[in-house]
Each structure stands twice: as structure tokens, then as C-alpha cells.
Amino acid sequence: MSDFETLVGLVSQYSPSGQERGAVEWLVARMKALGFDDAFVDEAGNAVGVMGKGAKQVVLLGHIDTVPGEIKVALTPNPSPEGRGELLYGRGSVDAKGPLASFVDAVAKVGAKDGWQFVVIGAVEEERDSEGTRFVAERYKPDFAIIGEPNQWDRVALGYKGSAWANVTVKRGQAHTASGEETAAEAAVEVWLQIKAYVDSFNADKPKVFDKLLLTLRGMDSDSNDFEQWARLKVGVRLPVEVSPEDWYEILNETLRVSETLRVLIEPVGFAIPAWGCEKNTQLVRSLLSGIRSQGGEPRFVYKTGTADLNIVAPVWKCPAVVYGPGDSALDHTPNEHINLDDYKKAVDVLSAALEKLTT
């Protein structure tokens, strides 16, 4: 069990967003026990471990929070035909304590390297507004960055889509129900169809999902008072690299019709995040590919339709960056969340080999 003590211990600390303190303190103590030169809780509540004192820096950024929904931590045999590796069940085993624990174990395995410093960060609040990552984005200037998300031990993620949310509200003056005039709710349906028509047109010549706009309608409600009626759409979109959040809000403003009868109001909601694509031909990527091959894997690249902390730090740090971590992302946020211990061990070995190559 010693190979998996960090993983099992961290997953055993239930830590949904906003309740990470126990897991943070456990991980800080674990990093100290593994021989990190320093380990502490920073001002944002993140767990931080530092190995080495060199001028060049590699930041390995994972997140320690999970979605809600506690899953009993349990080790079970693998029921698949090949039966390879035990399975660890527990909330966060995949998203994303598996990747974070692999960072800790890999850095402990490599140890201090002359001229280099490894910084492992278990960030808080990623499943909400990424407050922990926004804090560290302005406090580190690494030479290389590895972001922890589950993409299988033999894959390297080079891009994540951006996201933007908006409330689109249609308002009009009150009218008699027998007037035959278009209601605010009816107009809101037409507004949604206008947005969808634009997105369908934009996507028509783009075969890759990573290059498309991915539109969702996540809610709709309506109401009225003595003088006015209104209907509100909650519209979300996953953005490709070529469309910034600002571009998207401008598209909404230009696409949606306004008349003397109807008013359409567009209100951005929450943090909008631009998409990010990583450079493929870097020393960091080559080191990870070499690490995957060292474990008998055939490395593959992947571009994801979700959004990760990569999107927040990469534009600020402006250094070679990738996303890596063990686990099947199809199990994210599910009641069946689990990780294969064989895959976890391979990921640790991949990372340690990559860090050795990168810093030699």
C-alpha cells in the first residue's frame, strides 16, 4: 500500500468546494513526511509543497476540491476481463485528487535537482470559481507548468475550451391575453432559435469539436407584473480558441433582434474564461512523451471540450504548459468514480521520468 498511501489518504479526506481545509492540512503533512523542503497552507487556503531551491521552476498545479457527493472509499478487484490493477473508489479519485497525488509522489521520487525548484499546489475552489488558482496565477512565474486533470496515464492534453455564461432576458409591455400579440416567453423561444442558428452556421465547416461553439440552454423562466412581462434564458457556451468571451458577448448583442415592442438584455454571469491551446513542440511535451514511452505506452494528444485551470494560468505565466493526470474523465462527478491503481502508478513513473529528463 505504500505506493498508494498519498492517493488513498487524500481521497479519504472528503473535500467538496468550500470544505477543503481538512484535506489541505492532510496533504501539507504528507508532503512534509515525504521530504519536501517546505510545505504550507497559503493565504488562499491552497496546499503548497516545495522541493529544491534552484532558480528555474516547475509548477505542478492540481485541485484538491471535489464536487459534492461523498462516495465510500474502497479498494476492489478489477472486474474487467484482463483484471489489471485494483480499483480505488472515492470522490475525487479521478477528478482530480488522482492527478494531484501523482504530482506529490512523482516530485518526492525525483527529489531536489540542482538549479531547479518543484512547486506542487493543491488548489481550492476549482469546481466553483477557481479562487485558489486565481490567487497563485499572480504569485508564480514558472519556466514550465503541468496542470493536473484526468486524461489517462498515456495521454497529454494540449487544449481546453473556454466558457461563457449569460442571462438573456426578453422584456415587453403588458398586453391583453386576447390581443394575439407575441408574449415575452414566445419571443424568448425565437431568441434562442436565433442564437442556435448562428452557432449552427459557425460550426458548419468545422469538423473538430475543439474548434466549434458548444451551446447549451441551462434554464428558462418567465413572469410578469401589472405593466411588464419578461422571460429569461440561461445560456452557456463552450468556446473555441478563435472566439474570446468578449467576442461571444458581442455576437449575442449583434445577433439578437430588438424592436419597439421587445427589449433584449444580455447580462454576462460569473467568470468568463477564454479557451487555450498549448504549444506541442516544447521540451516539456517531449519529456512527457518520453516518460509515457518509458512505461510501455503509446503517447496520444487530446483536446478537451471542458474548461480547466490551464485556461486561467497559461495566459498569465506564458510558459510551456500541458495538462496531465491518470484517471478516466468519463467518471468525473459520477457516483461510480474510481481509479485503477496500476494506471496511477504508471502516471507517477511517467511524471518522475519526465521531470528527470526536463531538469537534466
Is 65 among the residues known to form the active site?
Answer: yes
Sheet holding 214-224, edge to edge: 214-224, 228-239, 162-173, 262-273
- Shortest CA distance to 302 belongs to which of 316, 285, 317? 285
What is the Cα Rg of the chain in Å? 23
Length of the chain: 360
Instruction: Please give the angle made by the CA atoms of 53, 57 and 63, to the nearest 5 degrees.
Output: 110
Contacts of 259 (CB under 8 A, 6+ apart): none
- C-beta separation of 307 from 70 below 8 A: no
Q: Which three cell numbers stand for residue 3?
A: 505506493
Catalytic residue among 20, 65, 95, 309: 65
Question: What is the rounded CA–CA span in Å between residue 125 and residue 24?
Answer: 12
Burial class for 226, CB neighbours closer than 10 Å (0-12, 13-18, 19+): exposed
Q: DSSP state, 204? A: T
Question: What is the rounded CA–CA span in Å between residue 328 and residue 67?
Answer: 16
Instruction: Could you list the beta-strand ranges (E) of the chain.
Output: 38-41, 47-51, 56-63, 74-76, 87-89, 116-123, 144-148, 155-160, 162-173, 214-224, 228-239, 262-273, 276-277, 300-304, 321-324, 338-340
Is 211 among the residues known to form the active site?
Answer: no
- C-beta separation of 146 from 215 below 8 A: no
Q: Which three cell numbers stand for residue 319?
A: 510558459
**H-helix or E-strand spanning residue 102:** helix 97-110
User: Following DSSP, what letter does each residue of 296-347 receive, concatenated?
Assistant: T---EEEEESS--THHHHHHHH-S-EEEE-SS-GGGTTSTT-EEEHHHHHHH
Catalytic residue among 126, 131, 337, 356: 126
Residues that are catalytic: 65, 126
